[in-house]
Amino acid sequence: MKATKQFLVMIFVAVLLFVIGSYRVQAATNFQPYMIQDQLHLLMPAQKQKIILQNQRWEHKRNRPQLWVYTLKKRPADIEDLGDDLLRSIAKKVTPKNGDYDWETEIDTKTQELHRNISLLVAYPGKGTQVKVIKSDDLAAAASDFQDWQLHRGLSNRIADEGVIYQYFSRFAPFINKHVAGVKTINPGISWGTIITIIMIPIVILIIALIIRWFYKLPPSGGDDDSSFDDGYVIGRWMR
C-alpha cells in the first residue's frame, strides 16, 4: 500500500511538472501580440491577418523563423542598433522578474535567442518614411549578397504608398519558406564574387588564346632579305 501511494505521488508530481513546463513553453512562445506594431497604419486588416498566420505557421517549422512588421511614428535614436533595441524590449516583456534567475542575464540570453529566429521589417520617419529589413541570424546566413540584391530589387527603401511595407513582406516570405523554415542546413546561395569569377574565367581564357594566336602569327626574324636588314637596322639604332 505504501509503495502504491509513493508511486501515485510520483505520477502526480511528474504530471504537475509537465503541465507547468508546458505552460511556461506556451507562455514563452506566445509572441502574437508582438508580431505587428503598426503605428503608421500602413497595413490593411487582411494584410495583418496574413502576416500573423504566416508567422504562426513558421512556428511549427524546423528552424521557427519569424518576420515581424513594425511601423514607428518616431524616428529611432539609434538606427544601427534598432533590431537589438526592439528585440531586447520584447525580451523584457516576456520574461517574468520573479523567476529563479538573474533577470538581466536572462534578458541577454532571451535577446540572443530572438536574434536567431526573428527578422524585423521596420518603417520609420526620416527623409520620408524609410524601410529597413533587419535580418535574423538564420536569414542572414541564408542570403548571400547576390540574393539580398535580388530580394530588394525593385523595392523602394522609402514608403511611397501604403502598399510598400506589405510588398516587402510578400517578397521575403517565400524566400524564408524555401531557404530557412524547413531546411536541415542553412547555406547561402551564389554570391556576386562567384558570379564575377564565372564570368571572368572564359574572358581570361579567350584573352590568353588571342595572345597565343597573335604570337604565332608574328613573322620570323633574321635572314638575308631587305626586310630583315631593316629590322636589324632599327633594333641597332634603338640599342645605342
Final residue before a domain boundary, out of 181, 201, 216: 181
pLDDT for res 5: 54
Q: What is the pLDDT of residues 143-188, one digit of tens each?
A: 999 999 999 999 988 886 778 999 999 999 999 999 999 999 999 9
pTM of the model: 0.74
pLDDT for res 19: 40
- Backbone CA torsion sign across 74, 79, 83, 89: negative
- The boundaries of the domain holding residue 222 are 192-239
Please check whether residue 52 is in contact with residue 36, taking contact to mean a CB–CB distance below 8 angstroms: yes
Instruction: Enumerate the β-bridge partners of residue 70.
Output: 37, 122
pLDDT for res 174: 97
pLDDT for res 173: 97
Instruction: Provide the number of structural domains found in the chain.
Output: 2
Residues 58 and 159 in one domain: yes
Length of the chain: 240
Cell numbers given for 233: 637596322
Residue ranges of the chain with pLDDT lower than 70? 1-29, 160, 218-240
Residues 122 and 177 in one domain: yes
71 vs 90: CA distance, rounded Å:
15
Residues 123 and 208 in one domain: no
pLDDT for res 209: 85
pLDDT for res 234: 41
pLDDT for res 28: 47
231 in a structural domain: yes
132 vs 117: CA distance, rounded Å:
17
